[in-house]
Amino acid sequence: FLHHDGIKERLFDAILPSEEGWPLKFEKASFDILYYFFEKLLATGGSLVVESPFLSTRDTAIFRKFQEQYHPNVVQILCTADPKKLSVRLVERHNTKERHPVHFDPTRKTLPAKKHLIDIKGEPYIFDTTDLDQIDYTPIYGLVEKYL
């Protein structure tokens, strides 16, 4: 299981940024590393899960390249929620001591851009996380089992 945040946190701990603009630099560096490992694992022909706040504008081309080169089965899960609930969660996450400091961007004043499915071949699933107590993971388990 590869996840963007794990890479980003390790980069932060190793480098300890001090210059202005570091959030965007870490974002780019952690995606570069994520895609490096992603491609290496695809080349082995094995199964893997990659988690990240992917953006269709930034990530579609690289996913298409990987699909053309390695022909993986893709299940794309897009998590959504009510924007007001997301705002509350964002504030709560930033106020917890458990949240790694690399995830705090002092320049961010709004929610991240709305996410959209990446325009690639594969099975899409939109997953509403507005009410965390009512989430049914069964459809996601079914999709993952279908392709493993």
The pLDDT tens digits of the residues spanning 74-130 come to 999 898 899 889 888 877 877 777 777 666 665 666 666 667 889 999 999 999 999
pTM of the shown model: 0.76
- Measured distance CA(11)–CA(102) in Å, rounded: 9
**pLDDT at residue 104, as a whole number:** 63
The pLDDT, as a whole number, for residue 93 is 78
Give yes or no for a contact between 1 and 52, defined as CB atoms under 8 angstroms apart: no
